[in-house]
Structure 1
Amino acid sequence: MIEEATPDVSGFTTFCDDIRFEVDGKVTMVGCYHGEMTINGGFPSTLAKFAMSIIFTQKRELFEPVLKLHVFLPGDPENEPGIVVDVDSQIDITKTDRPRIGARANLVLSPLTINAPGVIKVRIARQGRYHNVGSLIVAESSSTEPPPRS
C-alpha cells in the first residue's frame, strides 16, 4: 500500500460541551459531538456552554508563528467570521528538532447563541489562505416531542 505524504499544514477540531483541565495536565472533553449537533426547541438557540479544541500543525521549514483562528457560525457572511482569535505559538523552533510544529487553542464559549441551522466552520488563516480544521453541522430536531428529562 502506498502511504500519502503528510500535508504541509493540517489540523482538526473536537467540538464538545466543555473542556476541563485536570491537575495532572490531562484535558477532559465532555459531551463530544460526532459531526452533527441537534438543537431541540428551534432557533435561535442559546447554549449554556460550547467548546472547541483546535490542533494545527505545520512543517518545521514552513513554520508561521502567528496565526488567526476564524470560527464561522451558521448565518455568518462568508468573509466575516463571528469569532476571531489570534493564535501565537510562542515556540522557539531553534530549541527543538521536531519535523512538525503545533499550536493548540481551546475555546470555551459561555453562553453561545446559534441563530439558525447550518454549519459551524473552523478555519486557520495563514499567509492569506484558509485551512479547514473542522466543521460541525447544526440541525434542528425533527421530533415534536420535548427532550427526555433525567
Structure 2
Amino acid sequence: MKEEQRPDIYGQVVFCDDVRQESTGKCIYIGVYNSNLMIVNGGFPATLSRLSFAISVFQKREIFKPQFKIRIFVPGDPDDVPSIEAEVGEGVADSMAGEIDKTADALGLPKGEGLRNYVHVFTVMQFDNFQIKSTGFIKVQAEIGGKRYRLGALAVGSPQAKAG
C-alpha cells in the first residue's frame, strides 16, 4: 500500500502538566493528557496549577514562513477570539531552515529526503493558574500566511458538569 504524502503544513501538541528539558536536550513530559482532561474535584470554572503545551509545527521548506502565530482557545471562547495568542518565529533570519541540512548531515541522512524537506519549529508554552470556564475543548491552532491549521485539541469535562 502506498504511503500518503505529508501535507505542506502540519503539527501536533502534547498537553501536559509540565515540560522539562534534560542537559542532553531531550524533553521530559510530566502528566501527559491523552485525549481528555477530567476536573474531578469541583466543577467549573476550574483552575489548573499549571498547563503546558509542547507544540511542533512542520512546514515544507519551499514555503516556510518563519513568523507565525499560535492560537489557544479554551471552552467558552468565540470561534475567532482565542484566550491566548502568541507570535512564534526565528530571531536570526534563515536560522531554522539553515539548521535542517546541518542536522541531517550529522545524522547521516541522504540528501533530498525526509528531514531535509521540512522545517520543524518547536515551542513550549506553560501557564500557571490556567483558567477553564466550562466543559468543551482546549484547541490549539497555528496561523501561518493568513491560513489556520489545527494542531490539537483536548476535551475538558467534569462529573459535576454532567450531573448538573
What is residue 75 of structure 1 aligned with on the other side?
76
What is residue 45 of structure 2 aligned with on the other side?
44
What is residue 120 of structure 1 aligned with on the other side?
138
Show structure 2 runs of 5+ residues with no match. Answer: 102-115
Q: Which has the higher helix share?
A: 2
Q: Is the 8 A contact 1:89 1:102 kept in 2?
A: no
5 Å matches for 1:1-150? 1-40=1-40, 41-90=42-91, 91-92=94-95, 93-94=97-98, 96-97=100-101, 98-141=116-159
Aligned-partner residue type, residue 18 of structure 2: D
SS at match of 2:32: coil
| % identity of equivalent residues | 35
TM-score (norm 1): 0.90
CA RMSD of aligned residues (A): 1.7
Q: Is the 8 A contact 2:135 2:161 kept in 1?
A: no
Show structure 1 runs of 5+ residues with no match. Answer: 145-150
- Give the 3 Å change call, closer, same or farther, for CA 43–18 of structure 1 in structure 2: same
Q: Is the 8 A contact 1:21 1:27 kept in 2?
A: yes
